[in-house]
Structure 1
Amino acid sequence: MMKYLYKSMKIRIFAFAAIAVLLLAACDDGRIYNEVAVDTTGQSARLTATITGLDHWTDNYTVSLAGFAEGDDYASISKAVRANADGQVSMTLNNIPDQVTSVRLCVLDRLRRNVVTFSEVATEGVRDTIRLELGTVDASMLNAIQQGYLNTTCANCHGASNHAAAGLNLTAGKSYAALVGVASRKVEGHQLVAPGNAAESVLHMVLHNEHVEGISMNHFDLVSEKNAELILPLIDSWIDGGAEQ
């Protein structure tokens, strides 16, 4: 009886071994597969700078070193910028795809769209490392709004030509004091920018509505479709986050 059991067990062991060999042979086509493909091709970009204002950003945005294809607002590759306690940044963006035509120090939203660009370098003709040696950069939310909207649109009437419409100067270095916590002279009971409350801020009202009681000019018409998608949410996020300087 014991001899029979031993023989039966031996047969089963050989059978299992044979099945395992057949399965391995069927699966092995001679190639080695990696779980994650690592791209080691492409250029590299090196950023060195002293960057301030990184800690002012809300979770909806990331200050990044990013590469963009021509005509595309969505980053092909990006890496979040991190500074040490002194604001020093020294970082490298590797494996930049061939289709990238520019590398930017910029602000990306959650969809990796370029909201505001602080600095940009073209990649064409650069055979070595792409270098962004930028000195000191103010990368705060306020400065992003200043560069991305106030300078290009609002300041044309509010301070850029030595005339500040309605006594409101929105040029760089003066816009914060003119807006934040300042009671509106035309919209009763509201501040121009009420920290923590974008919806009740006059700045939000005039940029989102065709008509605001007490305001004669239609500022809404000056908002482009692109700014409506990218800059206005940035302004609201800044205000709701406390409108920090």
Structure 2
Amino acid sequence: MEFVTYEQEGFVGIVTINRPKALNALNSKVLEEIDEVFSNVNLEETRALILTGAGEKSFVAGADIGEMSTLTKEQGEAFGKKGNDVFRKIETFPIPVIAAVNGFALGGGCEISMSCDIRICSENAVFGQPEVGLGITPGFGGTQRLARIVGVGKAKEMIYAATNIKADEAYRIGLVNAVYPQTELMEMAKKLANKISKNAPIAVRACKKAINEGLDVDMDKAIVIEEKAFGSCFESEDQREGMNAFLEKRKVEGFKNR
């Protein structure tokens, strides 16, 4: 891998976009490497992922303008699909993904953070979809996920006016779950990932699947999705251990992911 690194710390995997001289901008190569890294995560050993950017200035400053500047209509659509396919893979990845946003998250950077389950950021983080100032629309899901996360009105304001927002505003509108000093960001991301990892992995995965799929359908269909997820957990050893530990007033000895 030239631009993406992966580390394993216990049950937590850390994916780092490592192109700091370009503020971790996304070109075709970076997208391909992100896709490859996610394809190779060992889901038997990994219960949560953290996605971040190298350096202290930028999470992901956006898609690579140099690469995009000469695209034709067909090539632009293909580049949008390439990014969307990777980001959708993150969004539907079986285990939770936490975005640790350490600086600029603009354009494709904001979009990749929104494909993660949870976003936390450093105090110097800046979010935005500045594409209309370049004569284009967001192309990696920005017009769709931002409205779903912060509401239609605020999303339209940010996108139409190419308005960037700082960390405190991102927290206020619900784009991020928490804001931390730069020096504490990864520590807090790992703390959250480890907290997730201590719970029953099969149940956590089922929750992610139920939430994601349920949001795309009406409530009558959504509760059926939940019922099936709920029922599926009763085939697991972890369910038996979790409930027995509760009834026996003891701590869970350790969920086995089976």
**Do Structure 1 and Structure 2 share a fold, with TM-score over 0.5?**
no
Q: TM-score range by the shorter chain?
A: under 0.3
What is the TM-score with the length of structure 2 in the denominator?
A: 0.24
